[in-house]
């Protein structure tokens, strides 16, 4: 017996004794055979879904894992760990129709790649690819969820199912169901061959694309044996789908069941555009380049002209700014050159005069804090150590090592205008605990007065230059000479005014 015939016989035997797990994986939220169920949203059109990007919104749901999309390989359905079975399930139904899926199956023991149609009454049409079999594809069908395990077929695929993409197509009408691999028909099912039409798939279907582990240790023993053995989760397993074209042979908005028979004659079609149709044909947001290309030529010309005008204004503004900056820079450079020339001329003058331009020059009198004396006044621009300038160490705030002819701040020599005419000395007691300051000296009497004690602080106030002081004039008889005092009465004193011992006002009363 040829090896191919033996293989076909073996697979037929296997399909007759093992349970296909897909039937066990399917479920329905509401079965119209038993209840009145909501209408199913229709596709109502034909569309090719390219999986180099996420499908249009509202067309597919993803369950039990993640799907990655790439330009080169399309959608990648990967099992990375136990419990994952990433699947895309359409949100729409088609009532008789056609699907073409460009798929590359995953390898791996117990791994099942699949293309499944399913209805609310559990009619089903399958493509299945067992990871341990790299050369064959499996086809199957079920009607009303009945577990008829003699329906599977195994078909060789040129080039294998795991190394490259192949086109797996189903065409479905009320008269027949056909399976194609790369446009070659490999199987046809007639209604009368499916339990006299009872198990013939004939109700609105939705499309599922996914991968799952039939060899999971938690699966039934028969399922694990059908899948080829126990799955090893130590590595990932990936199925790839580049595209899926779906064509609904009916047109309408939704499909509903008119009774509980589950026959195609009971299906009612509502007219109108379906939600899937609107989502598929929704215009995507246009790019800027597309919007630009749609503008009339006159509008483009106007935009070009406006842009050119704005560019010209900007250029002029930049040119004006540049010119102003250049002028400002020239002015600053000229001022800098002028200052540098002034400094050069001044430096030359200092050099000719023999002065050090870095030496400190000043004008005023040096003060000695220790002696309370002022030194000789120096002229401006006289370098220290010169004949007209201060000595090298002219001022020491501590008073140590001070040099020069010291001069008291309050002079007591003949140069003092307040001592030019000395008055008589006052020998009495201090008045109001105060002492008079130095007075104009009277003829022949030196100034004498007691020094203030620490407990009696001196409160001196000198008369201004226009005060009515008397220089060299005799004072009151017997009272000596004095100066006028603020807050002091004249010769006829008033009540409460103290008198002098000789009946007059004498002493030296400074302004208080």
Active site residues: 124, 128
* Residues whose CB is less than 8 angstroms from the CB of residue 368 and which lie 6 or more positions away in sequence, other chains included: 374, 375, 395, 396, 399, 402, 406
- Beta strand segments in 173-326, E: 177-181, 184-189, 206-213, 237-248, 254-257, 267-270
First to last CA, the chain: 149
Contact between 381 and 389 (Cβ < 8 Å): no
Of residues 503, 512, 500, 511, the one with CA closest to residue 426: 500
Residue 455: count other Cβ atoms within 10 Å of its Cβ: 6
Cβ atoms of 509 and 485 within 8 Å: the answer is yes
Phi, psi of 367, deg, nearest 5: -115, 135
Nearest to 128 by CA among 155, 159, 150: 155
Helix (H, G, I), strand (E, B) or coil at 238: strand
Number of H helices, E strands in the chain: 6, 21
CA distance 93 to 41: 6
**Taking phi first (over 0 means left), then psi (-120 to 50 degrees means alpha), and beta for anything else, what does residue 158 get?**
beta
HEC per residue, 449-465: CCCCCCCCCCCCCCCCC
Q: Which residues contact 499 (CB under 8 A, 6 or more apart)?
A: 493, 505
The C-alpha atoms of residue 255 and residue 269 are separated, in whole angstroms, by: 5
Contacts of 491 by beta carbon, 8 Å cutoff, 6+ apart: 476, 504, 505
d(CA 206, CA 372): 115
Closest CA to 511 of 467, 478, 476, 449: 467
For residue 67, give the DSSP letter: E
């Amino acid at each position: 017996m040829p090896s191919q015939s033996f293989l076909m016989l073996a697979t037929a035997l296997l399909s007759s004794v093992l349970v296909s797990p897909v039937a066990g994986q399917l479920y329905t939220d509401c079965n119209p055979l038993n209840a009145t169920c909501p209408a199913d949203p229709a596709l109502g059109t034909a569309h090719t879904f390219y999986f180099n990007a996420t499908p249009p919104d509202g067309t597919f749901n993803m369950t039990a894992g993640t799907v990655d999309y790439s330009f080169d390989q399309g959608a990648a359905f990967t099992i990375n760990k136990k419990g994952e079975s990433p699947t895309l399930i359409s949100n729409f139904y088609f009532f008789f129709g056609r699907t073409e899926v460009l798929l590359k199956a995953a390898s791996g023991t117990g791994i099942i790649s699949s293309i499944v149609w399913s209805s609310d009454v559990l009619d089903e049409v399958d493509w299945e690819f067992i990871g341990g079999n790299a050369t064959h594809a499996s086809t199957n069908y079920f009607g009303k969820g009945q577990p008829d395990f003699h329906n599977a077929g195994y078909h060789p695929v040129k080039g294998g199912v795991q190394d490259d993409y192949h086109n797996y197509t189903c065409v479905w009408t009320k008269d027949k169901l056909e399976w194609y691999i790369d446009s070659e028909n490999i199987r046809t099912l007639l209604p009368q061959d499916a339990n006299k039409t009872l198990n013939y798939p004939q109700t609105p279907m939705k499309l599922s694309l996914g991968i799952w582990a039939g060899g999971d240790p938690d699966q039934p023993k028969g399922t694990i044996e059908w899948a080829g053995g126990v799955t090893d989760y130590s590595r990932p397993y990936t199925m790839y789908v580049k595209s899926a074209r779906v064509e609904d042979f009916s047109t309408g908005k939704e499909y509903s069941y008119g009774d509980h028979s589950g026959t195609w004659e009971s299906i009612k079609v509502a007219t109108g555009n379906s939600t899937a149709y609107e989502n598929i044909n929704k215009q995507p947001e246009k790019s800027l380049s597309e919007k630009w290309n749609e503008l009339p030529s006159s509008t483009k010309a106007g935009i070009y002209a406006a842009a050119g005008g704005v560019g010209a204004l900007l250029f002029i503004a930049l040119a004006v700014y540049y010119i102003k900056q250049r002028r400002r820079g020239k002015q600053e450079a000229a001022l800098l050159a002028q200052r540098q020339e002034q400094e050069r001329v001044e430096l030359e003058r200092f050099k000719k005069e023999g002065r050090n331009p870095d030496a400190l020059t000043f004008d005023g009198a040096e003060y000695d804090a220790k002696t309370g004396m002022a030194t000789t006044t120096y002229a401006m621009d006289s370098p220290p150590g010169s004949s007209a300038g201060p000595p090298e160490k002219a001022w020491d705030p501590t008073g140590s090592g001070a040099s020069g002819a010291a001069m008291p701040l309050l002079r007591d020599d003949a140069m003092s205008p307040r001592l030019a005419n000395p008055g008589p000395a006052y020998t009495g007691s201090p008045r109001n605990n105060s002492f008079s300051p130095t007075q104009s000296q009277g003829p022949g009497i030196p100034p004498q007065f007691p020094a203030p004690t620490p407990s009696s602080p001196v409160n001196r106030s000198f008369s201004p230059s226009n005060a009515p002081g008397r220089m060299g004039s005799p004072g009151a008889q017997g009272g000596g000479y004095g100066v006028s005092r603020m807050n002091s009465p004249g010769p006829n004193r008033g009540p409460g005014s103290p008198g002098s011992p000789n009946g007059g006002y004498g002493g030296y009363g400074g302004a208080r």
